[in-house]
Structure 1
Amino acid sequence: MPIMVHLLFSLLMSVSVAVPHQDTGTSVVVRSCAEGWDSAGPEAKKKRPKHAQEEPQKAGACIELAFPPLEIQEYLQAYTRSQQWKISQERVTEDSWTIARELNKDELLGTTKRSTSMARISWTGGVVLLRVVTVQVANGFARTVIRASFRGYGQNGDQFAQQREYWELESNNNFETSIASTLQAHFTAPH
């Protein structure tokens, strides 16, 4: 009798463990981030003086994947190496990765917004500071938020204007979106 109980118990345990891991073929591995992922949090709701300028919304991209955060970060780092980007700085933490990548003139102009105040600048190149943060969220998903800030180098064509070492440029979100698309393509592709 004790052998029968042990056998029945073992059978029940193996069935209960196997059920959650069954692949129905319809599992979702990628989803959009919840609305508000890009808000600044409680600070965003503070009352400002009437004439104070509102800070522009930072550009960025967000994607949620049903993979561990470390696996996502490791893939991004491998992807960067495969692209042979010129990286001048790198910082890795448990949930984030920050790099400074050199850009040529065309890359700079393709990833930043145009400004009439900078129309007379002859651009030579720039740098993007890319910050990728991946954190675990509900239901086995990890949220990856990608933000980039740009610095452009060039010569001002206005001979009377004060010459500068660089200009801070606003992202057009192409760079951030391309990183999110790369993640989606990799993690939804059959392996």
Structure 2
Amino acid sequence: MNAEKKWQAVCRCDANYDGMFWYGVKSTGIFCNPSCKSRRPKKDNIVYFDSPQEAMDAGYRACKRCRPDLQSYDPNRHLISHMKEVLDLNADNPKKLQEALKQIPMTPHHFNQLFKIRYGQTPHAYVLNKRLEKAASMLKTNSQSVLDIAMAAGFGSISSFYASFRRVYGMSPARYRELRP
């Protein structure tokens, strides 16, 4: 990964790059995770490291906001990425999804917060997007009725499917199907 890509990750506070690299700020002597919400440093003041230990060996101290020194202890990271896989596998099956979500060893509110921090959207929005992607793909490649596609994608009602589809794609599913390449 080149320095420009790392800089873009720092500018976006992109949590997807956490654990891949760390950055230090020369002017403060502090190192952070790419997802740190602290004030963005000047690009010229940045140094990149492959590990927290490398940053500490270079004389940098860990940020007290993002705690890059505690990267190895994040019990929720594994759980949230596992639950994302569960959402991916069960997005089109609401009953299975509901059962899987009941198995989460934390409150729904806490899970929603952690998921949003990690992936930038709530689990509900993530599942809705997965369902819409599946429906859009099926509309392009499948001759089933719109109702059958909506049900196969995991929507509970045709009205919620139409409303969600129109909001995201700006047209009805039938119109989208007509415009397919």
TM-score (norm 1): 0.21
Higher RCO (C-alpha under 8 Å, 6+ residues apart): 1
Greater share of residues in strand: 1
TM-score (norm 2): 0.22
Greater share of residues in helix: 2
Computing the radius of gyration over CA atoms, which structure comes out larger, 1 or 2?
Answer: 1
